[in-house]
Structure 1
Amino acid sequence: MYSKNDVKEFIEMLEGSSLSVLEIKNGDGSAIRLEKAISAAPAVVMQANAPASVNESAPVAAPAAPAAPSAPVAEGKTINSPIVGVFYAAPSPDSNPYVSVGQKISKGDTICIVEAMKCMNEIQSELDGEVTEVLVKDGDLVEYGQPLFRVK
């Protein structure tokens, strides 16, 4: 089990590096995996009792293929995820979603929850407008900066 300070240190370690994924496995079988959205960077797996150094022979991920030019450009602004975690559209499985397509929202309205490290983080709208598209499904893993909603 990792302490809150350990987790904070791991997050700082990931943020201060060029890595996109940091996975740490402890000898007792516990593990922690952190991800951030960065262009092609190697993933590193470290044993808790191993020295904290980057494996120089770690494979580098292949660059992503360019987007298809025929895809239509959607109008409006997006509300992006401020953290990595699991997206939840509603406060509980049997509740209605915070927002739905066609709904007017105001800056500061709670629009979803992103669960990160067992903490439920209510995400507030940064924009005033109408929700034109929900870009992720309930229970999806979202990345930092990933668009969640389109608003016009």
Structure 2
Amino acid sequence: MSKHSTDADVAFIKALAEILNTNDLTELSVKREYAEDDSLDVRVVKQANVITTTHAAPAMQMAAAAPMAAAPATNEDPAQHPGALTSPMVGTAYMAAEPGAKPFVALGDKVAEGDTVLIIEAMKTMNHIPATRAGTIKRILFEDGSAVEYGAPLMIIE
């Protein structure tokens, strides 16, 4: 932590927050060195909105690029759900193989264990993520093209 706080530090942190927003990032960490034993460590994190859908009538089925409809608020942690499919890595999650393509799955779709349900791009590599169990896609917990963290719940398969 810096031994001094200045208006320049505040401006620096505001600039980092602006970079975070304009580049659609979720987290940014920087260490600013002042002297041999004086530095400022800054970590700026944008809270991602988790949007879920518990069910959808045929009229409510949405394109993969459209935002998901919000589910009623609950106190349950989706990561603790026995049917939770969690992210095996940090990256960007996609519902389809390429922009404009048909999504791998939609709400209500039945999947077999091992079926590809999404892709996570990490380090310029497209990683196909398989269903961890057979069942029906009950909830999709991320937006197409959003950043995901390791262990974050992505879908609920029941």
Q: Deviations over 1:55-87 (max 9, x none)?
A: 9974689xxxxxxxx834366521011000001
Task: Find the aligned partners of 2:43 and 2:103 in 1 and give their Cα distance.
Answer: 39
The CA deviation at 1:151 is 1.2
Q: 1:77/1:56 Cα in 2 relative to 1: closer, same or farther (>3 Å)?
A: farther
Give the unaligned 5+ runs of structure 1.
1-34, 36-42, 48-54, 62-69
1:133 aligns with 2:155: no
Letter in 1 for 2:89: I
Aligned residue number for residue 142 of structure 1: 148
| Regions of 4+ moved over 2 Å | 43-47, 55-61, 70-76
TM-score for both structures, normalised by structure 2: 0.52
Higher RCO (CA-CA < 8 Å; seq separation 6+): 2
Task: Find the aligned partners of 1:109 and 1:46 in 2 and give their Cα distance.
Answer: 46
Task: Find the aligned partners of 1:101 and 1:118 in 2 and give their Cα distance.
Answer: 28
Aligned residue number for residue 115 of structure 1: 121
Aligned residue number for residue 79 of structure 1: 85
Task: Find the aligned partners of 1:151 and 1:59 in 2 and give their Cα distance.
Answer: 38
Percent of aligned positions that are identical: 35
TM-score for both structures, normalised by structure 1: 0.54
Q: 1:56/1:134 Cα in 2 relative to 1: closer, same or farther (>3 Å)?
A: same
Q: Is the 8 A contact 2:30 2:42 kept in 1?
A: no
2:108 maps to which of 75, 85, 102: 102
Bigger CA radius of gyration: 2
For the residue of structure 1 that corresponds to 2:120, the secondary structure is strand
Give the RMSD, CA atoms, in angstroms: 3.2
Query: Quick check: which one's helix share is greater?
Result: 2
Task: Find the aligned partners of 1:120 and 1:58 in 2 and give their Cα distance.
Answer: 33
For the residue of structure 1 that corresponds to 2:107, the secondary structure is coil
Aligned residue number for residue 95 of structure 2: 89
Task: Find the aligned partners of 1:87 and 1:117 in 2 and give their Cα distance.
Answer: 13
Aligned residue number for residue 66 of structure 1: none
